[in-house]
Amino acid sequence: MKTNLVCSILPPYILERLARSTDPDIRRRARRALAEAEGYRLARSKPVLGPLPARAPKGKRRAIYDAGGKATLPGHLVRSEGSQMAPDVAVNEAYDHSGTTYDFYAKIFGRNSLDDEGMKLVSSVHVGDEDGEPLTNAYWNGAQMAYGDGDGRIFRRFTRSLDVIGHELTHGVESFTSNLLYQGQSGALNEHFADVFGVLVRQWKRGEPASEASWVVGEDILVPAPTRRGIRDMERPGTAFVNDPYLGTDPQPAHVKDYYTGKLDRGGVHLNSGIPNRAFALTATRLGGRAWEVAGRIWYDTLLQLSNVAGFLECARVTFRLAKLHGDVAQQAVRDSWAAVGISV
């Protein structure tokens, strides 16, 4: 069976920091989450998607499973498309947020699910680790979504966050479009596009203009504390958490002069995504209005055209070229925003 790399919402640098915690419970959970994030999970998943017709019907097709605290997916089916609300809040959050993500792609970009052919959106909630404890993460494994319930001390259940679910499902969209190689700059772009559309799904759902919207990723999955606002900040990379007793300080660079060149995190796919993230947030706020209408359209069309080994410069050039379709003001905003992070087009 073909395997697919797990794309998880928590970056290795957060999990590695937690894995060095003096608290044995946090340390153990983080080490298990690291093992899951670095592994390949599809081979342990039952085939729940089934064959799709050549032309799948328009409309959402959701299936929510309960993993029952186990690591093996998918678990038992607890809610399917059109069924009544479940007594389990995590089930309903997974159902509602995956539906909102489907609606966003359908209404804004005319896309029929992740593959544009009506792919079923499969999710498992209450996923555990190999020790049978709640997983402190959420991930896309190439076939479905999986959500842990967190540790209750730093992280809450991962189904709480619409932008987290939008982020992970966008990894699915990416696999059917540019399929960006998950390494180095192309991998950072892979994470970047997932952040872009995860945040845009949330802004769209709330009807927020770019000037008033939050650009923080993962706020809803964190137990509130004055030292942490989220796991990433697209507008101000490196500020999502500062001097946090567990997480430390956000290491994301905001400019290419601080680009991470090491081997960890597959060449910094989560770290260096802060650079294009800031370019997008700056573009959206400079254009004003609703970010999904112009900036989001430019970035979506770019995703359809990039090569799978694209770097930052290729991405910048394609966004600049496509921005011309929206007028000189949009094109200048794109140029200025990439220049602000050290990339000239």
Q: How far apart are CA 203 and CA 209, in angstroms?
A: 7
User: How many Cβ atoms sit within 10 Å of the Cβ of residue 314?
Assistant: 17
The contacts of residue 196 (CB under 8 Å, 6+ apart) are 170, 234, 277, 280, 296, 299
**Phi–psi pair at 227, nearest 5 degrees:** -95, 0
How many residues are listed for the chain in this entry?
A: 345
Q: Which among 93, 168, 174, 219 is annotated as catalytic? A: 168
pLDDT value of position 160: 98
For residue 126, what is the enclosing H or E element? Answer: none
What is the Cβ-side half-sphere exposure of residue 138, based on CA atoms within 13 angstroms? 31
pLDDT band at 275, cuts 50/70/90? very high
pLDDT of 187 higher than 50: yes
Mean pLDDT of 135-159: 95
pLDDT band at 50, cuts 50/70/90? very low
pLDDT value of position 3: 40
**b/e per residue 29-43 (b: at least 16 CB within 10 A):** bbbbbbebbeeebbe
pLDDT band at 37, cuts 50/70/90? low
For residue 206, what is the enclosing H or E element? Answer: helix 184-206
**Phi–psi pair at 78, nearest 5 degrees:** -125, -20
For residue 22, what is the enclosing H or E element? Answer: none
Active-site residue, 97 included: no
Distance of CA 107 to the CA centre of its chain: 20
DSSP of 41-89:
-GGGS---S-PPPSSPPSS--EEEEE-TT-SSS--EEEEETTPPPPS-H
pLDDT value of position 39: 56
Q: Domains in the chain, ordered, with CATH?
A: 7-175 (3.10.170.10), 184-340 (1.10.390.10)
For residue 314, give the nearest of 260, 340, 276, 282 by alpha carbon.
Answer: 276
Q: How far apart are CA 338 and CA 131, in angstroms?
A: 45
CA 114 to each of CA 59, 176, 231: distance values in angstroms, whole numbers, following the listed order: 12, 7, 25
Query: Residue 99 has which token pair?
Result: 């539906």
Strand partners, 155: 222
Active-site residue, 270 included: yes
Mean pLDDT of 188-204: 98
The contacts of residue 35 (CB under 8 Å, 6+ apart) are 130
- Note the pTM of the prediction, 2 decimals: 0.94
For residue 105, what is the enclosing H or E element? Answer: helix 89-109
Q: For 222-274, what is each residue's pLDDT tens digit?
A: 999 999 999 999 999 999 999 999 999 999 999 999 999 999 999 999 999 99
User: How many Cβ atoms sit within 10 Å of the Cβ of residue 231?
Assistant: 25
Cis peptide before 74 (omega within 30 of 0): yes
pLDDT value of position 132: 85
